[in-house]
Chains A and B, each alone.
Chain A
Amino acid sequence: MDLKTKIGAPRSVPIDRIVRENARDVTIRLLTGDREPAPKPGQFFMVWVPDTDEIPLSISRIGPGFIELTVRPVGDATNRLATMRHGDYVGLRGPLGNSFTLSDGRVIVVGGGIGMAPLRPLVHILCSCSQHVTVLVAARTRDELLFVDEFSELKSSNEHLDLAVATDDGSSGFHGLATDLLKHILNRDRPDMIYTCGPEAMMYGVLQLALTYNVALEASLERYMKCGCGLCGSCALDNTGHLVCVDGPVFTQQELVLIEEFGKYTRDATGMRTAL
């Protein structure tokens, strides 16, 4: 791959619209045009928010001539992005990183909070290629659930799709953690693959269940990222030296068990270790 593609062919694209998803999160549609290579579920873009910063955001929808990014405003760049308008430009590099592998068997998709974003396009594709899909949408509370209406609608036209909801406070669906509900599901149904994205403590729990029940797993990881293209090393994982930006963000069960820092610590903007 040439250097320009590796760096993500930097360009600026206009915002089409911004839609509120729940009490916290918004989805931003960017008019990217149809260009090669087409993004795949699990990949991300480096998004340059003018006058603020450039941040990695996973792709939450891949459409004709556009892509969508679903964002939780938690920092300077995400807050600024959430207030931008139709016609404003943002910088874009990508698509970057690897993607989920598609299983044609029985699968479970487990998303926690904003971690549902990269799983959304995956669910849509799996619906057309997998034998059976169970989507488990989890959040702390009902107001933070993502894409539940969209998946309900998808389910009405797809008999191979099941939808389960869990909230920590019990305000919607199962009262408890995503991993508690997943355990119930695994006790009665043994899938071929689990896909997950969300808080690392949740993903670590999902990995333990996948190992116990002997199910393959792919998880999308998050680390502090500056370049997104294998230049700065900010997102390197111990002790394997995997880079989340180019070797990930999606890692397999076999890789995750070797990544010693997974579920334990991360690194801040200076590269210093911080406990999760």
Chain B
Amino acid sequence: MEIKGYWLASGILGVTASILRRVHEHGADVVVTKSIGPVPRTGHPGPICTESHGGLLNAVGLTNPGIEAFMQELDQLRAWHVPFVLSIFAQSPEEAARVAARGAEAHPLAIELNLSCPHAEISQIAHNPDLTFRYVHAVKDAVDCPVFAKITPNASDIVAVGLAAERAGADAVVAINTVRAMRIDIQQRRPVLGNRVGGLSGPPIFPIAVRAVYDLYGALSIPIIGVGGVTTWQDAVEMHLAGASAIQIGTAVLCGMDVFARVKQGVQRYLRDMGLSDVKEIVGAAQGD
């Protein structure tokens, strides 16, 4: 698959075929499913989300019906010709390979390996280049479709993790996942989220994502899929300039599914005004020589 365009990020909506089709019809070039694991999982107790400083803090907790039950939704997506990427998570490289192999039977465009949900047990994988290598390698061995590694800015060295994914054969890296965070209710004097800790998304993390994409682009030779707080076409242009070939949008979808069309049109207008014809001409253009 060619890595380009404006996609629905994993974790937003994405748990049924019906809603994913609707997001695609509203302009998302590709939809990424919610992360699916080996077995049904209810996720964390509520509150699973709150607001913070213009962003969203969530600890949904990888709620999903398990890969077997989800196959029905994937088959439906395929029947409706909705271009989709399957996001998966697992507790071991072997388990990841099994979930990926089963999911690949539904012919996703690619499999996105969630190695970095900051409020679940799998949060530590993408903190460690070795672990990241083993997960990506196991999944690459198990499927023929492209494999993306979704990595986190919570790692001390995101570039080392990105390089490990590349060495293991990843076809792209997706950066970034949400940023580990907490809010405390001052009347109740306790953390707001049922899981206490969650992941921050939306506009407040945008500059963190730009930095991560910029650093990764400078070190890696595989494409970078940029994600993190993109809300406007200006954000998207900036993310492309940092090095993103494609861009995923999540939190901004809450304020309207038309965000994909608005961003796409804005970027096209920007390219035209600059006398350019293809977004490739600006990908990584801020890197300098």
Instruction: Tell me if B194 and A54 are in contact (CB < 8 A).
Output: yes
Does A241 make an interface contact (CB < 8 A)?
yes
Segment with Cβ contacts to B, from A1-9, A142-150, A172-180 = A1-9
Does A164 make an interface contact (CB < 8 A)?
no
Find A2's partner among B19, B50, B255 (CB 8 Å cutoff): B255
* C-alpha gap A232/B59 in the complex (Å): 10
* C-alpha gap A72/B20 in the complex (Å): 33
Given contacts A12-B188, A236-B16, contact A46 B51 (CB under 8 A): no
Does B18 make an interface contact (CB < 8 A)?
yes
Closest to B61 in A: A226
Give chain A residues whose Cβ lies under 8 Å from the Cβ of B70.
271
Residues of B217-267 at the interface with A, using a CB-CB cut-off of 8 Å, are 251, 253-255
Instruction: Tell me if B64 and A226 are in contact (CB < 8 A).
Output: no
Instruction: Tell me if A271 and B65 are in contact (CB < 8 A).
Output: yes
Instruction: Tell me if B194 and A272 are in contact (CB < 8 A).
Output: no
Shortest CB-to-CB span from A115 to chain B, Å, is 22
* C-alpha gap A234/B18 in the complex (Å): 12
Number of A-B contacts (CB under 8 A): 138
A-contact 0/1 string along B176-204, CB 8 Å cutoff: 00000000011110101010000000110
Instruction: Tell me if A226 and B254 are in contact (CB < 8 A).
Output: no
Does A227 make an interface contact (CB < 8 A)?
yes
Give chain B residues whose Cβ lies under 8 Å from the Cβ of A7.
49-51, 56, 254
* C-alpha gap A2/B53 in the complex (Å): 12
Q: How many residues of A contact B (CB 8 A)?
A: 41
Does A229 make an interface contact (CB < 8 A)?
yes
Instruction: Tell me if B51 and A9 are in contact (CB < 8 A).
Output: yes
Given contacts A12-B188, A53-B194, contact A231 B46 (CB under 8 A): no
Residues of A245-276 at the interface with B, using a CB-CB cut-off of 8 Å, are 267, 269-273
* C-alpha gap A227/B192 in the complex (Å): 13
Find A241's partner among B12, B19, B50, B55 (CB 8 Å cutoff): B19
Instruction: Tell me if B54 and A226 are in contact (CB < 8 A).
Output: no
Does B60 make an interface contact (CB < 8 A)?
yes
Give chain A residues whose Cβ lies under 8 Å from the Cβ of B49.
7, 227, 229, 231-232
* C-alpha gap A58/B276 in the complex (Å): 52
Give chain A residues whose Cβ lies under 8 Å from the Cβ of B60.
226-227, 231-232
* C-alpha gap A226/B60 in the complex (Å): 8
Instruction: Tell me if A233 and B46 are in contact (CB < 8 A).
Output: no
Give chain A residues whose Cβ lies under 8 Å from the Cβ of B47.
10, 46, 48, 54, 91, 93
* C-alpha gap A241/B203 in the complex (Å): 26
Does A52 make an interface contact (CB < 8 A)?
yes
Instruction: Tell me if B18 and A239 are in contact (CB < 8 A).
Output: yes
Does B34 make an interface contact (CB < 8 A)?
yes
Does A33 make an interface contact (CB < 8 A)?
no
Residues of B43-87 at the interface with A, using a CB-CB cut-off of 8 Å, are 43, 45-51, 54-56, 58, 60, 63-66, 69-70
Residues of A8-41 at the interface with B, using a CB-CB cut-off of 8 Å, are 8-10, 12
Shortest CB-to-CB span from A228 to chain B, Å, is 8
| Top 4 A-B residue pairs of the complex, sorted by shortest distance between their CB atoms | A54-B46, A241-B22, A233-B13, A236-B19
Residues of B in contact with A (beta carbons under 8 Å apart): 12-23, 34, 40-43, 45-51, 54-56, 58, 60, 63-66, 69-70, 185-188, 190, 192, 194, 202-203, 251, 253-255
A-B contact pairs, 24 of them (CB 8 A): A3-B203, A3-B251, A4-B51, A7-B49, A7-B50, A10-B51, A53-B45, A53-B46, A54-B46, A54-B194, A89-B187, A89-B188, A226-B60, A231-B13, A231-B49, A231-B58, A231-B254, A232-B60, A232-B63, A234-B63, A237-B18, A238-B18, A241-B16, A270-B69
